[in-house]
Amino acid sequence: MKLVNKKILTERQGAKVTQIEVFAPDIAAKVKPGQFVALMVAEEGERIPLTVVNKDETKGTITLIFQEAGLTTGLLGRMNHGDSLYAIAGPLGHATEIKNYGKVILVGGGVGIAEIYPVAKAFKEAGNHITTILGARTKELLILEKELKEVSDELLVATDDGSYGKKGFVTDILKGLLDERRTTNDERLVYAVGPIPMMKAVSAVTKGFNIRTIVSLNALMVDATGMCGCCRVSVGGQTKFSCVDGPEFEGHEVDWEELDKRNRIYADKEKHICRLIKK
Amino acid sequence: MKKEPVRIKEKAAQERVGNFDEVVCGYSEAEALEEAARCLQCKDPTCISGCPVGIDIKKFIFQITQKDFRGAYLTIREKNNFPSLCGRVCPAEYQCRKSCILTKKGSAFASKQAINIHFLERFIGDFGMKNNVAVSVKEAPQMFRYKVAVVGSGPAGLCCAGELSRCGIKVDIFEGLHKTGGVLRYGIPPFRMPRDILDFEIDYLKKSGVEFFLNTIIGKVKSLDELFSQGYSAIFLGLGAGIPSFLGIKGENLCNIYSANEFLTRVNLMSAYKFPQAHTPVNIGKSVCVIGGGNTAMDSARVALRLQKLNGIPLNTTIVYRRTEVEMPARRLELEHAREEGLKFKMLVKPEEFIGDKDGFVKKIKCLQCELGEPDSSGRRRPVEIAGSDFEVDCDEDNRHRPESKPDFD
């Protein structure tokens, strides 16, 4: 549970994304792309889920990437090489179904880019043609571009401010691409991870083209092992638990509005506690 | 003349609802002696058959009357690894006390007159704990020829580990969460089960050689085959109740609708009642509804009352139940405690739909009035909806409890 490595990937405009490598040999031996861990920074801390971005079985470590968004990720960001987490459990959730689909488009937004990396790598190894579309607010906030380039056949970038790649959103690129290839119509799968509005928009675009779309949801969790039901989401009109039924679901079936509202349940309390800690 | 049962001391309702301290204070020595003296020492005791683990109740109560508390402790320990836990949470009025000769024949649960066996057990358990009564764990290393893996450190796993280790078998317990105890820690609130008591009983197992591996999710991090190949000759699965079930009615995923598991886990395991000192939040509404009539519903309701008090909200928590008080599966003592603490009850009411505001937070429950019909398979009278009786209940937070093991909503 010790941090054996820490690297700040980017820190701009109040956004800070950090990469840590944690010694967790049992998890490293078993984790597959798409799975996550639940961790606690301290005994009085929250349990939060984080997707495993990479693993090194020989070193017995896993890599996690997170953006400091609230108290717990803030505290995690303050931990240093040699510090130990209070708890880490995993691997949790279903792994991504890796096979040769043919042509796959991966869409990553913000820190969600970290989550598509292990999936992109595995899809590539399975023989897929990979198109990767990355989105960030601005050039400096773009992470893992180099790593993703290595496992992609083509890589496209959109930034909100146009400082790099195309000005606009990932959905602009995605829509353009699908329009262009409408005649060949050989894209078999879209895999998207990012903020809720992005995943919602991506799903809306691909629905128009009738392309299967998998999203990895970031619902709030407590135990993260199927015991509490905090992470329930409506998918295809049925209640599912993100932790044990997911975290991946069919994007066209997800009730995005409900997920968005449920993820704001503690918005006030989060603000309050972050203010207290800053003082 | 029959002696009256010795009433147990409890903290005053108004005081206790403002904290998570233990409500029931336990017998003093004099009170335990007086209560034990009421036992008729039946020639053929009926109480023992009501105890799932078959504690020699007659014997340990006799030992109390002789002030042989140490002996009484050992008598209980022969059958039960956790006297202090069971003395607090065993549903005695449905078990040993129900089969006590002083309980009226044919009653659904123990009569008031029945010996307070559970309070005596608790007294002895706590005596043993305070006085560090050594228990005859067979300290024979050669007995540890086998090792057994126990998956889950809840009551089932702890019991299994206790029984095996007393036979001299090495036990390793694998727990998925970051703390031991399972439902004893995440489900049962501290005011019913103080954490130092729980820790003591679990530490006792550790002292007798049981090892705990936390944060270890068997099935994910290790398969059963891998456990066998690591040299375990048997595996016990004490996995708990699993996924909480919901009512399956409209609006169930609105914000501030919690399963009892989530609500209690936030508060009990993650200490959300200490927010912001503890970092896990929990929301508490001005009018909280708890759906169900079992012990978990009572625990949730009493936790809700305490959170309202701690947050300066006037107490307003209501049990919504489809049948009537007689059919409630909750322990009578919990029901009594909850009522003293100000819990309200809406009986013969069945939720039909949750209604929320624009931000997705629950605001009302649409309900139907019920009446009691013929008894169902559980022997309790079935609630029958009265057509056209729908009405709304204010609710800005809802904790539902469906008894985990039963397919039907009670």
* Confidence band for B401, pLDDT divided at 50, 70 and 90: low
Residue B244 lies in a domain: no
Contact B27, B41 (CB under 8 A): no
A36 assigned to some structural domain: yes
What is the mean pLDDT of the segment spanning B277-304?
94
Average pLDDT value for chain B: 90
> Do B215 and A72 make contact, defined as CB atoms within 8 angstroms?
no
**What's the gap in Å between the CA of B166 and the closest CA on chain A?**
30
Is the pLDDT at B155 greater than 80? The verdict is: yes
Does A229 lie in the same domain as A151? yes
**Is A62 found in the same domain as A36?**
yes
What percent of chain A has pLDDT above 70? 99
User: What's the domain count of chain A?
Assistant: 2
* β-sheet bridge partners, residue B383: B372
Note whether B177 contacts A: Cβ–Cβ < 8 A.
yes
Tens digits of residue pLDDT in A240-264 = 999 999 999 999 999 999 999 999 9
CA distance A92 to chain B (A): 7
CB-CB under 8 Å, A89 with B216 = yes
What is the pLDDT averaged over residues B10-30? 95
Output the pLDDT for position B302: 96
What pLDDT score does B409 carry?
32
**Residue A105: burial class (beta carbons within 10 Å; 0-12, 13-18, 19+):** buried
Report pLDDT for A233.
Answer: 97
Q: Which residues pair with A190 in a beta bridge?
A: A105, A213
* CB proximity B249 to A under 8 Å: no
* A7 & A116 share domain: no
Lowest mean pLDDT among A85-89, A127-131, B314-318, B392-396: B392-396
Phi first, then psi: give them for residue A100, nearest 5 degrees.
-85, 105
| Structural domain includes residue A272 | no
Which chain B residue has its CA at the smallest distance from A73's CA?
Answer: B279
CB B95 within 8 A of CB B80: no
Residue B286, min C-alpha distance to chain A (Å): 16
Question: Are B299 and B386 in a shared domain?
Answer: yes
Please list, residue by residue across B159-184, b when 16 or more beta carbons sit within 10 angstroms of its beta carbon and e when fewer do: bbbbbbbbebbbbbbbbbbbbbbbbb
Q: Each residue of A12-55: pLDDT tens digit?
A: 878 899 999 999 999 999 999 999 999 999 999 999 999 999 99
Question: Is residue B285 located within the same domain as residue B358?
Answer: yes
Is the residue at A271 inside a domain?
Answer: no
pLDDT at res. B144: 64
Q: Residue B121 sits in a domain of what CATH number?
A: 1.10.1060.10
From A30's Cα to the closest Cα of chain B, the distance in A is 6
Q: Tell whether B259 is within 8 A of chain A (Cβ).
A: yes
Q: Domain check: are A69 and A116 in the same one? A: no
Residues B59 and B81 reside in one and the same domain: yes
B101-118 tens-digit pLDDT: 999 888 888 989 999 999
Weakest-pLDDT range from B33-37, B77-81, B309-313, B400-404: B400-404
Q: Is B382 helix (H, G, I), strand (E, B) or coil?
A: strand
Burial label, B70 (beta-carbon count in 10 A; 0-12, 13-18, 19+): middle
Mutate to test the interface with A, among B199, B215, B239, B257 (most CBs of A within 10 A): B215
Name B402's bridge partners.
Answer: none
Kindly report whether the peptide bond that precedes residue A247 is cis, defined as omega within 30 degrees of 0. yes
Cβ(B391)–Cβ(B251) below 8 Å: no
End-to-end CA gap in chain A = 29
- How would residue B135 be classed by pLDDT, with cut points 50, 70 and 90? low
Judged against a pLDDT cut of 50, whether residue B208 lies above it is answered with: yes
- B311/B308 Cα distance (integer angstroms): 5
d(CA A274, CA A278): 6
How many angstroms away from the CA of B278 is the closest CA of chain A? 5
Closest-approach residue (CA) in chain A for B260: A228
A72 in the same domain as A208: no
Residues of B in contact with A223 (CB under 8 A): 176-177, 186, 265, 269
What's the pLDDT at B400?
59
Band of the pLDDT at B146, cuts 50, 70, 90? confident
| Per-residue confidence (pLDDT) for residue B143, from 0 to 100 | 62
Of B221, B243, B283, the CB nearest to A26: B221
Clarify whether residues B29 and B123 are in a common domain.
Answer: yes
pLDDT > 70? residue B141: no
Q: Are residues A76 and A110 in the same domain?
A: no
Tell me the residue type at B277.
Q
- Cα separations in angstroms, A93 against A31, A38, A90: 10, 10, 9
The number of domains in chain B is 3
Question: Is residue A219 very low, low, confident or very high in pLDDT (cuts 50, 70, 90)?
Answer: very high
Lowest mean pLDDT segment, chosen from A125-139, A179-193, B185-199, B338-352: A179-193
Q: Decide if pLDDT at B396 tops 80.
A: no
Per residue in A139-161, pLDDT tens? Answer: 999 999 999 999 999 999 999 99
Q: What domain range includes position B115?
A: 13-130
Residue of A nearest to B215 (CA): A89
Work out the average pLDDT over B130-153. Answer: 74
Does the pLDDT of residue B410 top 50, yes or no?
no
pLDDT at B407: 31
Mean pLDDT of A49-75: 94
Q: B222 to chain A: which residues are within 8 Å by CB?
A: 26
Mean pLDDT of A190-217: 96
Mean pLDDT of B77-93: 91
**Residue B404 confidence class, pLDDT cut points 50, 70, 90:** very low
Model pLDDT, residue A208: 92
Furthest-apart CA atoms within chain A: distance in Å: 59
pLDDT at B402 over 70: no
Q: What is the mean pLDDT of residues B51-65?
A: 95
CB B256 within 8 A of CB B285: yes
Cβ neighbours of residue A4 closer than 8 Å, sequence gap 6 or more? A21, A22, A23, A59, A61, A81
Contact B275, A231 (CB under 8 A): no
The pair phi, psi for residue A11, each rounded to 5°, is -150, 100
pLDDT reading at B362 higher than 60: yes
Residue B336 within a domain: yes
The DSSP bridge pattern shows strands A248-250 and A213-216 to be antiparallel
Tell me if chain A has a CB within 8 Å of the CB of B358. no
- What was the pLDDT predicted at B134? 64
Contact B354/A at CB under 8 A: no
Looking up residue A232, the CATH number of its domain turns out to be 3.40.50.80
Sequence letter at residue B227 = L
Domain assignment present for residue A98? The answer is: no
Domain range for A42 is 3-92
Looking at beta carbons, which residues of chain B come within 8 Å of A269? 275-276, 281, 283
Confidence of residue B139 (pLDDT cuts 50, 70, 90): low
